Structure 1
Amino acid sequence: MIAPGRRADVGGVSVPVDHLIGGAWVGSHESFETRSPLAWDDGPLAEVARGDDETARAAVAAAQRGFEEWGAFTVGERAAVLHRLADLIEEHTDEIATVETLDMAFLQESMRQRLVGRGALNFRTYADLIVAHEERAWHAKNMDNVVQHMPAGPAVVITPWNAPFMLATWKLAPALAAGNSVIHKPAEWSPLTAALLAELTLDAGFPPGAYNLVQGIGEEVGAALVADPGVRRITFTGSPATARHIGQAAAENIVPFTAELGGKGPLVVFADGDLGAAAHRAAWQFDDSGQVCLAGTRLLVEESVRDEFLTRFHEHADALVLGDSRDPETQIAPMVHPDHRAAVHGFVERARAAGDTIVRGGRPLEGSLHYEPTLIEPTSNDSEVVQQEIFGPVLTFQTFADEDEAIELANSTAYGLSAIVFTGSRERAERVGRAIRAGLVWVNTFLVRDLTAPFGGCGISGIGREGGDHALEFHSDLKTLMIADDTCN
């Protein structure tokens, strides 16, 4: 019988607020509060356990024990557990959607219709991929050669506050599928659906310690986790500044490390493209209040269609509905935290002071954590709002004369996660798509991706790749077994 631990009522859903370590709920001496962006002044949604160095050591020790059992599961046995977890996620769609909407302000209908199901699909995808991830075998040098995929060991998985449930499943699924035990550290601004996921793992059939959840502040328990020599893999999504600290800790213990660190994606519109579709897609970069790493936040439009594009863009932006995330009519949710909204407003105010033109928006709204969908025309490509990730509902607008200038502008930041191109020419799609330096380039579409394709960025957008076999390779240690031909039977 597993002790229940402390719980909180969040929108009528009972949510664990302690750590899950070694299959048991474990508390801490201190706690931190999480509040709803939908009703910030109403007080905390929950008081969540605040992990420390002791918590981190206990979680790593539990993960080491859990790895011995989980890593010994056959590929088929692991796949069956992952499919059971996916089933449970789908069965609890409404509860997960309710909690994430309150904790992070994600649109509740989008959670129900897309994001929770995508979380289940992540586990199903890797359950199937690990079965198909065959050993490579060949004969050479008078030997049979076989490359084996060995589980690497305990993996620390650190996930961000935006789309927390889906992004957690995206990173946890390959680690678990590969046979690693995991220690999941969610962001402290949106920690609650991670607890629901942890609870579902208990019913799915994971052995104790295969899946561990540690709550707390990143600089405290997160730093202790990544520095522990018992950890054999680290995967992180967040800011470049935090990634530098994690990378140093990983290097100290010679631990492989992947990082997805955000972007400053260009949305490039050529005159031969579908301007209506491009303007509509550009306005929808305000989705989730711009708190999307893949967003095309730099609008780069061919000079000859500047006015027509802006007219259409404003029509679409004017039609966006800002409101409560629980309302099905709402299209743009509030921002996650007052501190983050203040940081976004700081970018806009500095742009205003530097002489950049605020074409639309540029202010926080009274009575909620919304920020007006904002478009800025900078005086220079060196402007801070062009070069730095804002991670809010703020886009920049620039024009270009020809294809060469479009590519030059697209590649002019230190980031390189994603890009969007609109053109009616297949030849231009190929040329520009290949010339833009980014981990993902969409042409005449956006946010549609085969889950087996590699995912990651160039430059300060990150290191390593997630997705498909790329993630399974990262979470495995490879062994080449060589057996000479004259070996006796």
Structure 2
Amino acid sequence: MSGAATLGQETIDVEGVLVDTRHWIDGRRVRSRTTFADLSPIDEAVLGHISAGGTAEVDAAVAAARRAFPAWRALSADERAHALERVADGIDARADELARVETRDNGSLLRSHRRSVMPRVGHNFRFFAQQVRTLMHPDREIRGHRERITYNPSGVTAVITPWNAPLMLATWRIGPALASGNTVVFKPPEWAPLTASLLADITSDAGLPPGVLNIVQGLGPDAGAALAGHRGIRRLSFTGSVPTAGKVAAAAAPNIVPLSLELGGKSPLVIFDDADFELAVSLAVEQFDNAGQVCLGAFRILVQDTLYNRFIEAVVDRARQLRQGDPRDESTDVSALVSRQHFQRVSGFVERARAEGASVVLGGGPNTELGGLYFRPTILTNVSPDSEIVTEEVFGPVLTVQTFGTEEQAIEMANDTRFGLAATLLTGEPERAERVSAALDAGTVWVNCFFVRDLGAPFGGNGHSGIGREGGVWSFDYYSDIKNTVFSPTGWNSEQKGSR
């Protein structure tokens, strides 16, 4: 069974779920004259032909968002919060459908979608609904004057997100943008657009007014470029690669649109010889999650030389036990890469590393038993610190292992990157944990743990890993225009003042 069937020009059946292939603009479905094929990574089957938007569709979506903005911003924070909670209820009610569709569309594990990803999608709306209810700064006093600080909606927010966790990453931005009182135009990834279409249905069923959320599908050079450079947007949130971010920023610059950029990573996993050994092995193997297509992944493993031999033997043995296959099978640990283009990119990185002298201790190429887009979990050693495989983001199931001798050397190696999204540190000494974590240059540092983060904490990267922070109040700092109003104690009409 292919998992997808065409019921008509506008609707497809994906894993038993009906998905509309058209855009969502101003509360209705809109078809484009041109389409693009959406292929499943599982077997490279065509799931459907999706309406491909461009300047005309983006113009219509931004116009709809601008029309909807005055009424949406006029609602109280509590009214907007109730609307977002209804959306969250709709997501929870259809969580299994969303999980099945996204697994078929982007190849991520179904068990992960069911257990963590889709629950997080609903939580993205609920969390920011609750946050906006309590969002305030206390009045300040200066020389007898009263200062009132308020969060005001900024206007139309453009959201452009990637394919590796499309719905979760999108709602992580759409949630606070809508809670702030902004309206949204969302461009989903062309390699995994289908759950965005289902989100449109869910928001409509939840009673979100027309134009508050608009979804324009299409290719990056067409729909993405038109949205990033549109004069009608007032905020732009982009998640993706560094090269694309440069183009997005250049497009937005003439309109002086504030940017929030979450970009790539080449994060280190620093393991001292006093660390919990079982934890070190488990976290190293965990980096193969989602076939390595995770921006936060710690793919540069730095292990103290005294621990190296024992560690590499254990990691290779554990990684060999990972089961690769169809992500719809609950027993699968590693699935396929998202597209043929990306598969060739990852293969190229590994081939060039081998040509430069890297040793392959695990994997190193396609899984010939499965064929298609399945690339074996790969571990490389004997890599040069300045080699491409160490310095560039591969975004696939490829780990490099290097050794260090001293604490100072570990810090220097960990920070020897143009990225700075995250870092993971494993040590059994509390004092060392304090010293090294403080010295690591990253937006998030995990100590003796991994991938633990509350939505109220700031999230973002240093260097080429991005600009800005989102999460909790930091999201509202970005999606809002913050105003300071100063009230004088003098100058009031005496009668009016006395009657108050």
Query: TM-score with structure 1 length normalisation?
Result: 0.97
Q: Which string of whole-angstrom CA distances, capped at 9 and with x for unpartnered residues, describes residues 81-103 of structure 1?
A: 11111111000011101100100
Superposition deviation, residue 191 in structure 1: 0.3
In the other structure, the counterpart of 2:436 is 432
Tell me, yes or no, if the aligned pair for 1:320 and 1:332 is still in contact at 8 Å: yes
Rounded Cα–Cα distance in structure 2 between residues aligned with 1:311 and 1:472: 47
Residue 147 in 1 paired to residue 140 in 2?
A: no
Superposition deviation, residue 446 in structure 1: 0.5
Superposition deviation, residue 5 in structure 1: 9.2
In the other structure, the counterpart of 1:202 is 204
Rounded Cα–Cα distance in structure 2 between residues aligned with 1:476 and 1:329: 44
Tell me, yes or no, if the aligned pair for 2:421 and 2:444 is still in contact at 8 Å: yes
Rounded Cα–Cα distance in structure 2 between residues aligned with 1:152 and 1:345: 43
Q: Which runs of 5+ in 2 are unaligned?
A: 1-7
Secondary structure of the residue aligned to 1:54 is helix
In the other structure, the counterpart of 2:316 is 314
Q: 1:345 aligns with which of 344, 347, 352?
A: 347
Equivalent residues in 2 for 1:47-446, closer than 5 Å: 47-366=49-368, 367-446=371-450
Tell me, yes or no, if the aligned pair for 1:5 and 1:27 is still in contact at 8 Å: no
Rounded Cα–Cα distance in structure 1 between residues aligned with 2:389 and 2:65: 42
Tell me, yes or no, if the aligned pair for 2:184 and 2:213 is still in contact at 8 Å: yes
Tell me, yes or no, if the aligned pair for 2:103 and 2:327 is still in contact at 8 Å: yes
Tell me, yes or no, if the aligned pair for 1:235 and 1:258 is still in contact at 8 Å: yes
Rounded Cα–Cα distance in structure 2 between residues aligned with 1:289 and 1:148: 44
Tell me, yes or no, if the aligned pair for 2:12 and 2:21 is still in contact at 8 Å: yes
Q: Which string of whole-angstrom CA distances, capped at 9 and with x for unpartnered residues, describes residues 146-196 of structure 1?
A: 011110000000010001111111111111111100001011000000111
In the other structure, the counterpart of 2:475 is 471
**Number of matched pairs:** 484
Superposition deviation, residue 379 in structure 1: 3.7
Secondary structure of the residue aligned to 2:96 is helix
Q: Which string of whole-angstrom CA distances, capped at 9 and with x for unpartnered residues, describes residues 275-313 of structure 1?
A: 111011101101110000000000100000111111211
Secondary structure of the residue aligned to 2:84 is helix
Tell me, yes or no, if the aligned pair for 2:106 and 2:191 is still in contact at 8 Å: yes
Rounded Cα–Cα distance in structure 1 between residues aligned with 2:460 and 2:436: 19
Question: Identity over aligned residues, as a percent?
Answer: 47
Moved more, 358-367 or 428-437: 358-367
4+ long deviations beyond 6 Å? none
In the other structure, the counterpart of 2:3 is none
Superposition deviation, residue 404 in structure 1: 0.3
In the other structure, the counterpart of 1:449 is 453
Rounded Cα–Cα distance in structure 2 between residues aligned with 1:127 and 1:13: 28
Rounded Cα–Cα distance in structure 2 between residues aligned with 1:149 and 1:444: 37
Q: 1:293 to 1:190 in 2, by over 3 A?
A: same
Moved more, 434-443 or 130-139: 130-139
Instruction: Quote the RMSD (CA, aligned, Å).
Output: 1.2
Rounded Cα–Cα distance in structure 2 between residues aligned with 1:379 and 1:453: 35
Rounded Cα–Cα distance in structure 2 between residues aligned with 1:291 and 1:228: 30
Superposition deviation, residue 142 in structure 1: 2.9
In the other structure, the counterpart of 1:34 is 38
Secondary structure of the residue aligned to 1:71 is helix
Superposition deviation, residue 378 in structure 1: 3.7
Tell me, yes or no, if the aligned pair for 2:383 and 2:400 is still in contact at 8 Å: no
Rounded Cα–Cα distance in structure 2 between residues aligned with 1:135 and 1:407: 38
Tell me, yes or no, if the aligned pair for 1:142 and 1:485 is still in contact at 8 Å: yes
Tell me, yes or no, if the aligned pair for 2:383 and 2:402 is still in contact at 8 Å: no
Rounded Cα–Cα distance in structure 2 between residues aligned with 1:243 and 1:458: 14
Superposition deviation, residue 136 in structure 1: 3.3
Rounded Cα–Cα distance in structure 2 between residues aligned with 1:234 and 1:167: 14
Residue 460 in 1 paired to residue 464 in 2?
A: yes
Secondary structure of the residue aligned to 2:287 is helix
Q: 1:379 to 1:101 in 2, by over 3 A?
A: closer
Quick one: which amino acid aligns to residue 239 of structure 2? T
Q: Which string of whole-angstrom CA distances, capped at 9 and with x for unpartnered residues, describes residues 441-473 of structure 1?
A: 101111110111010000100001111110111
Rounded Cα–Cα distance in structure 2 between residues aligned with 1:68 and 1:333: 45
Superposition deviation, residue 78 in structure 1: 0.5
Rounded Cα–Cα distance in structure 2 between residues aligned with 1:134 and 1:207: 26
Rounded Cα–Cα distance in structure 1 between residues aligned with 2:374 and 2:478: 39
Rounded Cα–Cα distance in structure 2 between residues aligned with 1:66 and 1:190: 27
Query: TM-score with structure 2 length normalisation?
Result: 0.95
Rounded Cα–Cα distance in structure 1 between residues aligned with 2:346 and 2:138: 49
Moved more, 367-376 or 384-393: 367-376
Moved more, 177-186 or 349-358: 349-358
Tell me, yes or no, if the aligned pair for 2:228 and 2:252 is still in contact at 8 Å: yes
Superposition deviation, residue 144 in structure 1: 1.8
Superposition deviation, residue 141 in structure 1: 2.8
Tell me, yes or no, if the aligned pair for 2:42 and 2:104 is still in contact at 8 Å: yes
Secondary structure of the residue aligned to 2:374 is coil
Rounded Cα–Cα distance in structure 2 between residues aligned with 1:379 and 1:161: 29
Secondary structure of the residue aligned to 2:288 is helix
Tell me, yes or no, if the aligned pair for 2:140 and 2:148 is still in contact at 8 Å: yes
